[in-house]
């Protein structure tokens, strides 16, 4: 049994595209905590991306944190949450998508993408959300050349009046900035990490 937690239709109305033909297209990505699959809504035939996140009863609240953050974000720079479902073992997040695969970018394209990424981060910070895992794999470009930030599994809400280190180790180690608390020669005035 599953329920749509955004008040939408039943999970039974979504059909996952079979990964038999062109498997690389249909299984889009596999991350540390879940997989991204392409799926089609039965009633309309619309294509969505489904992030499927397994959970146990002990980890359910942590997994639902991503949903809570996503439902509060409404920006063209953040991948829009279409619907969410909770099954006894999985959280399934459905996203609208129209992605564009390119292998070469002009300098002008890259400058435009960087500006959009900074706008997205500014939007998130203005809404008191820290992404904590911003890396190339979590920045997508649509067919209209619009940057979309994805994967809020490590994200946290924050209160600027009560900033405290969480110590969760969230994010991807290779993309983490240096933590000034672990370097005796640095001070908090060194703002090399964002």
**What is the C-alpha separation between 170 and 111, in angstroms, rounded?**
28
Quote the CA–CA distance of 13 and 27 in Å, as a whole number.
19
Q: Are residues 112 and 147 in the same domain?
A: yes
User: Which of 66, 96, 126 marks a domain boundary?
Assistant: 96
CATH number of the domain at 121, please: 1.10.510.10
Helix (H, G, I), strand (E, B) or coil at 54: strand
Residues 77, 56: one domain?
A: yes
Can you tell me the distance from the alpha carbon of 94 to that of 85, in angstroms, rounded to the nearest whole number?
8
Closest of 146, 150, 157 to residue 136, by C-alpha: 150
Containing 114, the helix (H) or strand (E) segment is helix 107-126
Identify whether residues 112 and 155 lie together within a single domain. Answer: yes
* Residue 141, pLDDT score: 87
183 within domain boundaries: no
| Boundaries of domain holding 112 | 107-178
The CATH number covering residue 46 comes to 3.30.200.20
Last residue of a domain, one of 40, 73, 96: 96
Same domain, 68 and 19: yes
**φ and ψ at 92, to 5 degrees?**
-120, 120
CA atoms within 13 A on the CB side of 144: 7
146 lies in a domain?
Answer: yes
Predicted pLDDT of residue 187: 45
- Residue 116 sits in the same domain as residue 173: yes
| Domain total in the chain | 2
DSSP, collapsed to helix, strand or coil, labels residue 99 as: strand
* pLDDT (0 to 100) of residue 26: 42
- Name the 3-class secondary structure at 16: strand
The answer to whether residue 160 sits within a structural domain is yes
- Do residues 113 and 83 share a domain? no
Torsion of CA 109, 114, 115, 120, to 10 degrees: 130
Q: Does residue 91 share a domain with residue 34?
A: yes
Question: Which of residues 42, 72, 96 is at a domain's end?
Answer: 96
- The pLDDT tens digits along the chain (194 residues) read 445 554 555 555 555 554 433 323 344 455 556 788 888 888 888 888 888 999 998 988 888 999 999 999 999 999 989 989 888 899 999 988 766 677 788 999 999 999 999 999 999 999 999 999 999 888 988 888 899 999 999 999 988 777 666 555 555 555 455 554 455 444 444 444 44
Q: Write down the pTM of the prediction.
A: 0.71
């Amino acid at each position: 049994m599953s329920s749509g937690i955004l008040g939408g239709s039943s999970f039974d109305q979504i059909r996952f595209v079979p990964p038999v033909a062109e498997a690389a297209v249909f299984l889009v990505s596999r991350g540390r905590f879940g997989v991204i699959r392409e799926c089609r809504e039965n009633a309309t035939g619309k294509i969505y991306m489904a992030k499927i996140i397994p959970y146990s009863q002990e980890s359910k609240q942590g997994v639902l944190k991503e949903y809570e953050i996503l439902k509060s974000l409404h920006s063209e720079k953040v991948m829009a949450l279409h619907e969410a479902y909770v099954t006894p073992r999985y959280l399934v997040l459905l996203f609208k998508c129209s992605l564009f695969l390119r292998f070469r970018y002009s300098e002008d394209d890259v400058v435009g993408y960087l500006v959009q990424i900074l706008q997205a981060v500014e939007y998130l910070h203005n809404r008191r959300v820290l992404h904590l895992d911003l890396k190339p794999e979590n920045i997508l470009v649509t067919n209209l050349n619009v940057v979309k930030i994805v994967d809020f599994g490590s994200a946290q809400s924050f209160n600027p009046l009560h900033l405290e280190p969480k110590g969760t180790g969230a994010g991807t180690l290779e993309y983490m900035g240096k933590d000034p608390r672990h370097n005796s020669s640095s001070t908090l005035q060194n703002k090399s990490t964002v």
